[in-house]
A = this chain, B = another copy of it.
Amino acid sequence: MKKISDSAVRRLALYQRFLQEAADAGLDTISSGDLAERGGTTSAQVRKDLSLFGSFGKRGLGYEVQELLREIREILGVDRTWKVALVGAGKIGSALFSYRDFQKRGFRISAAFDSDPAKVGSDMGGVTVRADEEMDRRLRDEGIEMVIVAVPAEAAQAVVDRVVNAGVRAILNFAPVRLRVPRGVALRNVDLTLELEGLSFALTGR
């Protein structure tokens, strides 16, 4: 098991998206140059990325769209459905819950939890918001594989500890804190304020 950089994985996910578009447009083959252009990278980068996993192209021709799409989906593990739970049914949480793309791409949010009694029991598109206390048990019982954390910063670490303890090994965190997870648990952060601060820096220019 080679070590694949985070940026390579991101690009693969992008290629997948472009390949899907190309497939929808009825294209049969696509070259590394085509993929590169759409992804804002170079053809060499595309070929290097793909070569990490095998040789999928035909020299002189390019890549067969359907075949490469299938390969990349398998590599990314998105050739199946993932069971996802949402912790925190506030504004961001509910927005994520009804985010169409998740469903479309095979990420099924089949459980939701909140510590606010006012929210517990409410229905979110077929899924009932459950009490915080039920979380640990239900995560296991329902075989949840990924958790989206959308709770206040102060609560996030405690939630994550419990989630990890319940056997979940992938976490997408929206709370603006640096979380600690054991080795072997995948963690991605979406830090909205950080992004705006990055823009601020770019405008301030230094």
What would be 13 A-B contacts, judged by CB atoms less than 8 Å apart?
A1-B206, A9-B198, A9-B201, A92-B96, A99-B192, A105-B196, A107-B196, A146-B196, A146-B200, A170-B200, A170-B203, A188-B198, A190-B192
Q: How many residues of A contact B (CB 8 A)?
A: 58
Task: List, in ascending order, chain B residues with CB within 8 A of A190's CB.
Answer: 190, 192, 195
Write the chain B residue with the least CB distance to A75.
Answer: B206
A118 adjacent to chain B (CB < 8 Å): no
A91 adjacent to chain B (CB < 8 Å): yes
> How far is the CB of A94 from the nearest CB of chain B, in Å?
7
- Asked whether A196 lies within 8 Å of B176 as measured between CB atoms, the reply is no
- Asked whether A99 lies within 8 Å of B91 as measured between CB atoms, the reply is yes
> Which secondary structure characterizes the binding site on chain A?
helix
- Asked whether A76 lies within 8 Å of B10 as measured between CB atoms, the reply is no
A141 adjacent to chain B (CB < 8 Å): no
> How far is the CB of A126 from the nearest CB of chain B, in Å?
16
- Asked whether A197 lies within 8 Å of B91 as measured between CB atoms, the reply is no
Task: List, in ascending order, chain B residues with CB within 8 A of A64's CB.
Answer: none
Task: List, in ascending order, chain B residues with CB within 8 A of A200's CB.
Answer: 76-78, 82, 146, 170
